[in-house]
Structure 1
Amino acid sequence: MDFAERHQHTCSAVGLAAREGKHRLVRKLIQKGYSTDVRDNRGWNPLHEAAFHGSYECARVLIRAARSSCRHRDYVNSLAHDSATPLFLAAQQGHARVVKALLQAGADTNRVTDDEAGPLFAAVDGGHIEVVELLVRNGAEVNTSHSVSGWSCLHQAAFKGHAEIVRFLAGVAHVNATDDFEITPLFVAAQYGQQRCLQILADAGATVSCQSHDLATPLLIASQEGHLTCVEALLDRGADPNLFCNEDKWQLPIHAAAEFGHVRVLERLLPLTDRVCDRGAGKVSPVYSAVLRGQTETLQVLLREGYSPDAQECSPYGYSSPLAAALCTPAMSVEIRCRVPELVKVLLGAGAHVDGSLYRGCLQRDLPYLLEPLLKRGGTPAGEQLVELLRAGLDHLHTAAVWLPLLLQAGLDPALFLRDSFFEKAGSDVLNFFLEFTNWKMLPSLLQNILSRRRADSTWAPLQQFDALPSLCHLCRLALRDAVGGEALAQRDFVRRLPVPPLLHDFLQFTDAFTPGRLPKQPPLEEREYLGHGPHLPE
């Protein structure tokens, strides 16, 4: 909406003529006694209108008329409701002739608006180099703060990418001026990808490895934003890629590139970064940065270049390894969550160590399919880690159709789930699957009672075989499992060495129970895709 046109009925006749650039009409109205200082609803008088619309001849007429009164200088510097002067409006719009006329009439070059922006700042913001030079020659202050954030005009020129204005101001202003956050113009150029401005500032003497109040450097911020040309310009001018950049969590530019997925920036920084960050005590490997933000591509680059998939214990983030970080991030977004299976695959492919405490994280984050690759690499957990896994399983029975087959196929002892909470809450198909690994006629009486009650309540629909005694063959394989252990029986090589006919090998490994028709009902396809890979079970 054009605010001026919407409310033009509040504008005086002289103001309307000045807006339209009709200088003869302005002169005629003044001669007839019309006032030159009637304000509209913004506080603008006719000189504001002439200045904003670049009506040079109108401005001259108005200034000449004001000279006949004792309020000449006040009129030239008259303030709108937001404290904007005619000079501010002319500078903002880049009307150099009007600016020059106002300056000759005594306009104040350093009067600021309510938001602390002066005419020079407005001209810089608009990229009006001629006006900028004109104002500076007439005393405009180039080193003071011209905005609520504490930015100087040079900050704003770097932000907008006005290279020629930066070049001019760099010759008259402090190139290392800082705002309220100790950020310099060069830092701003690096943050917003203004390569030419950055080069001009650096060549004019700006510090390339300056640090803001939180220790961030221009190289860090350029790496974070993915501005490769700025990164290269900084490195070519001596920026330090090994300068510590974060008080709370140890960070270098390479971490920012890895975290935000900027592969080309990462590749540029890799040969220049001290490898002590990879596994050094008290440091944080950039592998963590890639993992915690779900950046598979930068993770692959780091691992390919020899960074460790295990790294060091990450105290600042609270993770024992990158694999633990991938599985246990508390505030995991949906986007990152969908990338976890690929992250785990990449880390395991690079030889990441699997600790038994990781299994619990798969269940707690509702990523049960990821148990499969972990179990293949690390085997079933023991001791306190096994206790934690069982506790997590009982707390996440809604995904038991996924994790229970994986655990039993890996050789976990089914007796561990002979608990009333499991029998009370497990789904009907999960219970039926589980019972195939037991002697269902010899269950403890408490569990038998639970099954009877659930059957009566129609919350459990038993398979027909559970009404009969287990076969002798089934009892024999249960006895063999008790004798040698479930983990041993889960290993194909071990079973092949048993003094039994080869036809019994699959039977001893309960392969019949893992056929698709007898597995618990899996989650819907879209949920399986969300959670990760489906279980890789025998056909």
Structure 2
Amino acid sequence: MERTPLHDAAKEGDVRRVGVLVEERKEYLWTKDERGRLPIHYAASFGGPAVVRFFAVHANGHPKGGDMINAQIKDGRTPLHLASEKGDAASLEVLVREGRADPWIRDENGWLPMHSAAWFGQPEAVRFFLKYNASHPERGDMLNERDYKGNTPLSCAVQEGHVKCVRLLLEAGADVTIANEEGETPLDLAEEGSDILSLLTCKLSLLTLNEKPEERRKRGKIEKLNKNMKDLCGKFQIQRLALVEAELEFTLVWSQRIQSSYPICDFKSCSPGIGHSKPSLIEFH
């Protein structure tokens, strides 16, 4: 793995030099640097839409073009993730429309490119993915998609204090009640007294006004669970461990009792029968 002159030309956005280098050394297109980045990753991060278009068009005409346009670096990010972080909506347009890049590929955090756009506070990139999401309902709801820790794009934007992105996501219908693995909703993540907290509170108030009685009851239950989630998770893990230890101790005692009552019995060979006869314990999945 080594950085090539094509990486540098892509980073600089020098389309002419990129073309010359590809003509001379086509293998450069597939050469990765020490972090697993192809020249197209440099183009998406730094080069701009013109040089991104060169790679997108070339990828379309190559049997393995999809492997390039959706190539993931060591942390799982694709060219779409990188362009999203930069907020380069023009490059996003080129990658998706001309390169047929897939915006549903996740990085090592479980982030879609839309999560990246929200986290880095890039409203133009967020707007691009909202339009894509609305025009491709068959692929799922990107708006409320969770990462591996349960955070939605709205949660990401709220945590980093990006008001414009939060407003865009709320206007598109982002769910303010979705909790992450820590039991935190966007309201919990918002800074006290911030404009973002006001936006979220306003959104929740509007939802509450339009709720039917049954919906209100369900929301109340959800909010109650979210409020206690942290403590419940901690207690649950302790209880689960205690039950596992109790079951192991029970099995050992049962084994000793059987063997003392029936010395000729081999516990291993009897375990299926014993398993059916002993009292059932609570199982957690």
- Is the contact between residue 166 and residue 196 of structure 2 (CA under 8 Å) also seen in structure 1? yes
Counterpart Cα distance in 2 of 1:74 and 1:204: 41
Counterpart Cα distance in 1 of 2:187 and 2:52: 38
- Is the contact between residue 159 and residue 194 of structure 1 (CA under 8 Å) also seen in structure 2? no
**Relative to structure 1, is the Cα distance of residues 246 and 121 closer, same or farther in structure 2, using a 3 angstrom cutoff?**
closer
- Give 1:138 shift: 1.2
Structure 1 unaligned runs (5+)? 1-8, 217-244, 248-539
- Give 1:194 shift: 5.7
**Among candidates 69, 83, 101, match of residue 107 of structure 1:** 101
Partner residue of 1:173? 174
**Among candidates 43, 55, 78, match of residue 85 of structure 1:** 78
- Give 1:212 shift: 5.8
- Is the contact between residue 127 and residue 157 of structure 1 (CA under 8 Å) also seen in structure 2? yes
Report the residue type matching 2:178 in the other structure. Answer: A
Structure 1 stretch displaced more, 98-107 or 26-35? 26-35
**Relative to structure 1, is the Cα distance of residues 123 and 54 closer, same or farther in structure 2, using a 3 angstrom cutoff?**
farther
Which runs of structure 2 are paired with 1:59-458 in the superposition (5 Å)?
59-104=52-97, 105-139=99-133, 141-146=142-147, 148-171=148-171, 172-189=173-190, 192-193=191-192, 195-205=194-204, 210-211=223-224, 213=226, 215=228
Report the residue type matching 2:228 in the other structure. Answer: L
- Is the contact between residue 109 and residue 138 of structure 1 (CA under 8 Å) also seen in structure 2? no
Report the residue type matching 1:144 in the other structure. Answer: E
Counterpart Cα distance in 2 of 1:246 and 1:82: 32
Counterpart Cα distance in 2 of 1:11 and 1:55: 19
- Give 1:246 shift: 8.2
State how many pairs are aligned.
208
- Give 1:214 shift: 5.3
Q: What is the CA deviation profile of residues 451-484 of structure 1, one whole-angstrom value per residue up to 9, with x for unaligned ones? A: xxxxxxxxxxxxxxxxxxxxxxxxxxxxxxxxxx
- Of all paired residues, the percent bearing the same amino acid is 25
- Is the contact between residue 12 and residue 47 of structure 2 (CA under 8 Å) also seen in structure 1? no
Counterpart Cα distance in 2 of 1:212 and 1:187: 13
Whether 2:13 is the aligned partner of 1:21: answer yes
Counterpart Cα distance in 2 of 1:125 and 1:194: 20
- Is the contact between residue 117 and residue 126 of structure 2 (CA under 8 Å) also seen in structure 1? yes
Q: What is the CA deviation profile of residues 403-449 of structure 1, one whole-angstrom value per residue up to 9, with x for unaligned ones? A: xxxxxxxxxxxxxxxxxxxxxxxxxxxxxxxxxxxxxxxxxxxxxxx
Counterpart Cα distance in 2 of 1:106 and 1:11: 26
Counterpart Cα distance in 2 of 1:13 and 1:54: 14
Partner residue of 2:22? 30
- Give 1:149 shift: 2.5
Q: What is the CA deviation profile of residues 31-90 of structure 1, one whole-angstrom value per residue up to 9, with x for unaligned ones? A: 223321111111100100000114321111111122221122221111111111000011
**Relative to structure 1, is the Cα distance of residues 246 and 25 closer, same or farther in structure 2, using a 3 angstrom cutoff?**
closer
The DSSP-based 3-state class of the residue aligned with 1:168 is helix
Greater C-alpha radius of gyration:
1
- Is the contact between residue 36 and residue 74 of structure 2 (CA under 8 Å) also seen in structure 1? yes
- Give 1:213 shift: 4.5
Report the residue type matching 2:198 in the other structure. Answer: Q
Counterpart Cα distance in 2 of 1:54 and 1:138: 23
- Is the contact between residue 181 and residue 212 of structure 1 (CA under 8 Å) also seen in structure 2? no
**Normalization by structure 1: what TM-score?**
0.36
- Is the contact between residue 54 and residue 98 of structure 1 (CA under 8 Å) also seen in structure 2? no
Counterpart Cα distance in 2 of 1:43 and 1:194: 43
Structure 2 unaligned runs (5+)? 134-140, 209-218, 233-285
Partner residue of 1:462? none
Report the residue type matching 1:161 in the other structure. Answer: G
Partner residue of 2:242? none
Report the residue type matching 1:155 in the other structure. Answer: S
Counterpart Cα distance in 1 of 2:58 and 2:101: 15
Q: What is the CA deviation profile of residues 100-132 of structure 1, one whole-angstrom value per residue up to 9, with x for unaligned ones? A: 111112111121111212211111111110100
Counterpart Cα distance in 2 of 1:213 and 1:63: 44
- Is the contact between residue 54 and residue 95 of structure 1 (CA under 8 Å) also seen in structure 2? no
The DSSP-based 3-state class of the residue aligned with 1:202 is helix
Report the residue type matching 2:149 in the other structure. Answer: S
Q: What is the CA deviation profile of residues 137-168 of structure 1, one whole-angstrom value per residue up to 9, with x for unaligned ones? A: 1127121212x421111111111221221121
Counterpart Cα distance in 2 of 1:97 and 1:135: 12
Partner residue of 1:357? none
- Is the contact between residue 161 and residue 194 of structure 1 (CA under 8 Å) also seen in structure 2? no
Partner residue of 1:253? none
- Give 1:16 shift: 1.4
The DSSP-based 3-state class of the residue aligned with 2:75 is coil
Partner residue of 2:48? 55
- Is the contact between residue 53 and residue 94 of structure 2 (CA under 8 Å) also seen in structure 1? yes
Partner residue of 1:375? none
Which runs of structure 2 are paired with 1:456-471 in the superposition (5 Å)?
none
Q: Which has the higher contact order (CA 8 A, sep 6+)?
A: 2
Q: As a proportion of its length, which structure holds more helix?
A: 2
Partner residue of 1:529? none
**Relative to structure 1, is the Cα distance of residues 25 and 199 closer, same or farther in structure 2, using a 3 angstrom cutoff?**
same
